[in-house]
Structure 1
Amino acid sequence: MKRFHAHIAVDDLEASIRFYSAVFGVPPTVAKPDYAKWMIEDPRINFAISNRSAKTGLDHLGFQVDSDEELNELRQKVANAEIAALDQPLSECCYARSDKYWITDPQGIAWETYHTLGAVEIYGMDMPKAAEPVAERAACCAPKPNLIKATPKRASCC
């Protein structure tokens, strides 16, 4: 079964943890000095926040799946639609080891689709805190948007 995933970069992690704990009615499932995550069942969502010197606001969206079969099925849909994707097998990010792939929508928003394989003790191998200037950073452990390209934009009216 799929679970919607949203990750938001925040300025004040403690205040945000208090706020979202009140909104969701439960404390975070995972709480670290720079990260928190709620695994909510109704609605089924994986909601994460972090304070890692990134620009505040929406970091990335995605889908968490429960099996390799579901991951492969969604990955095939992306391939069939000829949307470029970046595969990251056995990635270590956001205190988890996962098989994942990334796509970027036409607006430049990173979308992560992944199957979590286990926990790790560090935030991410690919993106240590403050390792890059804020302007150069992308989503959690996502590639920079120019590394993966979505289908070309079409001209529209109105």
Structure 2
Amino acid sequence: MKRFHIHLAVDDLQRNIAFYSALFQAEPSVVHDDYAKWMLDDPRINFAISNRSRAAGVDHLGIQVESEQALTEIQQVLQQAALPIMEQKQAACCYAESDKYWTVDPQGVPWEAFHSLKSIPIFGKDADLPTDSAASCCGPSSNCSPI
């Protein structure tokens, strides 16, 4: 099963945790000094916020899957559609280690398809990816190259 992912950059983490906890009627499942995440079943979404980006707003969007096979299927769909994709294995980002495929939509919004492997104690930043200063912590620039 897939879960929709939204990551927002916020200016005041505590104020936003209070707002989204009230909106979702649930406390975050993960909270750090710079990051919070809700894993909701209704709606089925992985909703994350952080105060690590420069500009508030949509950081990136994505689809979280539960297996490597499901991730491979998404990668094949992206390839068949001739979309630019970037592969990232064992990425350390957002307090998780994940395998990912990235693309960028026509508006320049980074999209990730990912399978989380395990939790890690650091936010991470995927320093090996080509990123643009306004992009996400772990999103590619609009210069994705086909794989």
Whether TM exceeds 0.5 here: the answer is yes
Counterpart in the other structure of 1:100 = 100
2:138 is equivalent to residue 148 of structure 1: no
Question: Equivalences for 1:89-128 in 2 at 5 Å?
Answer: 89-126=89-126
In the TM superposition, what whole-angstrom CA distance separates every residue of 1:51-73 from its partner, at most 9, and x where no partner exists? 01421001110000000111000
1:84 aligns to what? 84
| Contact persistence 1:102–1:113 (CA under 8 A) | yes
- Gap regions ≥5 residues in structure 2: none
- Per-residue displacement from partner, 1:111-144 (whole Å, max 9, x unpaired)? 01000000111101425xxxx9xx7231121122
Kindly indicate whether the alpha-carbon contact (under 8 Å) linking 1:104 and 1:149 is maintained by their aligned counterparts in 2.
Answer: no
- TM-score, structure 2 length as denominator? 0.92
Within-5 A mapping of 1:5-154: 5-126=5-126, 136-145=133-142, 147-148=143-144
Q: Cα gap change, 1:107/1:125 in structure 2, threshold over 3 Å: closer, same or farther?
A: closer
SS of residue paired to 1:136: coil
* Structure 1 ranges of 4+ moved more than 4 A: none
Report the AA paired with residue 57 of structure 1.
Answer: G
Q: In the aligned structure 1, how far is the partner of 2:12 from the partner of 2:49? A: 10
Task: Look at both structures and tell me which one has the larger radius of gyration over its CA atoms.
Answer: 1
Counterpart of 1:80 in structure 2: which amino acid? Q
Q: 1:58 to 1:149 in 2, by over 3 A?
A: farther
Identity %: 52
Aligned positions, number? 143
Hey, what's the Cα distance between the residues in 1 that align with 2:38 and 2:110? Answer: 20
Q: Distance in 2 between matches of 1:119 and 1:143?
A: 22
